[in-house]
A = this chain, B = another copy of it.
Amino acid sequence: MFTGEEKVSGELIYKGRILNLRVDRVRLPDGGMALREVVEHAPAVGIIAETGDGGLFLVRQYRYPAGEFLLEIPAGIVEPGEEPAETADRELREETGFKPGALAEVVQFFTSPGFSDERIILFHARELSPAPKECDSDEFMDLVRLDRRQLQDAALSGEIRDSKTLTAIYWFLSR
């Protein structure tokens, strides 16, 4: 039976806008020591937003760290004091102009557990109805609607190159 790694000391390298960087010294299960570089990031939500005809809303936006435009499910960071379901409701309105009549948590996962604590809570939003769109001034995105067949093609062809979106699409198609 393996045990975990125990923090011995830590140093905050950078405190930023959407992330902090920490380097911790840890004790390994065999008593040895190692350094762990950890990117602290707030939890985020992703929304599997089902359209009336059984497809999904996706958004296309430029992702600077990736250096390319990506087609993704609507998503966003959980703000301080917000419940994840509130974030999902808010981000869906901001990014699609629709609000959900039904919203259910699907699954939670770490995006890069080797170097970050970022966790995504995935929601399934149904019974969408138009809602006043409040777009973040910082966000430039295209709204796209794909039906089941297009989702399958986009996932298999490599057009979808975002982890949470692949998980969301395969979950949706498997139902």
Please list the residues of chain A having a beta carbon within 8 angstroms of any beta carbon in chain B.
2-5, 13-14, 16-19, 21, 23-24, 26, 28-30, 34-39, 41, 44, 60-70, 72, 107-120, 138, 140-142, 155-156, 158, 160-164, 166-167, 170-171, 173-174
Q: Which of B35, B69, B163 contacts A4 (CB 8 A)?
A: B69
The reply to whether A163 and B161 contact each other, CB–CB distance below 8 Å, is: no
How many copies of this chain? Answer: 2
The reply to whether B63 and A110 contact each other, CB–CB distance below 8 Å, is: yes
Q: Which residues of B contact A156 (CB under 8 A)?
A: 107
The reply to whether A110 and B66 contact each other, CB–CB distance below 8 Å, is: yes
The reply to whether B19 and A109 contact each other, CB–CB distance below 8 Å, is: no
Q: Which residue of A16, A26, A37, A41 has the most chain B CB atoms within 10 A of its CB atom?
A: A37
Q: Which residues of B contact A62 (CB under 8 A)?
A: 2-5, 29
Distance between A76 CB and nearest chain B CB, rounded to angstroms: 9
The chain B residue with its CB closest to the CB of A35 is B17
Distance between A29 CB and nearest chain B CB, rounded to angstroms: 5
Distance between A23 CB and nearest chain B CB, rounded to angstroms: 7
The reply to whether A28 and B140 contact each other, CB–CB distance below 8 Å, is: yes
The reply to whether B109 and A166 contact each other, CB–CB distance below 8 Å, is: yes
Q: How far is the CA of A104 from the CA of B27 in the complex (A)?
A: 37
